[in-house]
Amino acid sequence: MDSFEFNKIVAAIILTVVVVLGLDRISDLLFKVDQPTVSGYKVDLDTTMTASVTDGGSQLDLQAFFASASVEQGKSVFKKCAACHSIKKGGKNNIGPALYSVVGRDVAGVTGYKYSKSLVAYGKQWSVEELNGFLLKPAKWIKGNKMGFAGLKKEEDRASVILYLNANGDEPITLP
C-alpha cells in the first residue's frame, strides 16, 4: 500500500467524523426542542381506597378491610413471619418478639425482648390500624425499627394475618 492510498483512507475517516458532527449541529439548528420547566411526570393517585392506611391519621373501615380476609389465608401468609416470630401461647422470643395476643398490646410490650429505641419510644398499642400500617411497610411506619421485612403489599394478606394473629389471642376482634 503506497502513501496515496493511506492518505485516502485517513481522509475518508476524517470526512466521516466531520459529516457526523456537522449533522448533529445542523439538526440542532433545524429542530428546536424546548426544555421542560419541571422534570418528571405528574402521577395521579386514586384516593378512593378507604381501607388503606397510609399515615397515622387515617381511619380504617373495618368492614371493608376484613371483607375478604380469612384466618386460613392468614395462617398461610404468616409462614413468612414464622421464621422470626412465635405465635404460640407462652412462645419464646426469636429474632423477633413473640406475637401471641398482639392485638391490643402495647408496642414494645413483650418483656425479655430487646426492642429498637424507635419502637420503645413509639408509645402506642397494636390496634388493627397500627398493625395494618406496620405490616404494609414496617420501615416507613415506625422509622428506625430493626425489623428487616419489606412488608405485605396486598391488603387482603394484611387483613388475614391480623385475623390469624387475633385468632390466637385472648380477645377477638369485633367488627361494627
φ/ψ (deg, to 5) at 106: -65, 140
pLDDT in tens, 74-92: 889 999 888 899 888 888 8
Band (pLDDT 50/70/90 cuts) for residue 67 is confident
pLDDT, greater one: 116 or 168 = 116
d(CA 60, CA 73): 21
pLDDT, greater one: 61 or 76 = 76
pLDDT in tens, 143-159: 988 888 888 999 999 98
At residue 168, the pLDDT reads: 63
Question: How many helices and strands, by DSSP H and E, does the chain display?
Answer: 7, 0
Residue 44: how many CA atoms within 13 Å on its side-chain side? Answer: 2
| Per-residue b or e along 66-76, where b marks 16 or more CB atoms closer than 10 Å to that residue's CB | beebebebbbe
Using a pLDDT cut of 90, give the percent of the chain over it: 20
Does the global pTM surpass 0.85?
A: no
Q: Pinpoint the alpha helices (H) of 70-154.
A: 71-77, 117-122, 128-136, 138-141
Per-domain boundaries in the chain? 62-167
At residue 10, the pLDDT reads: 94
At residue 43, the pLDDT reads: 58
Domain 62-167 has CATH 1.10.760.10: yes
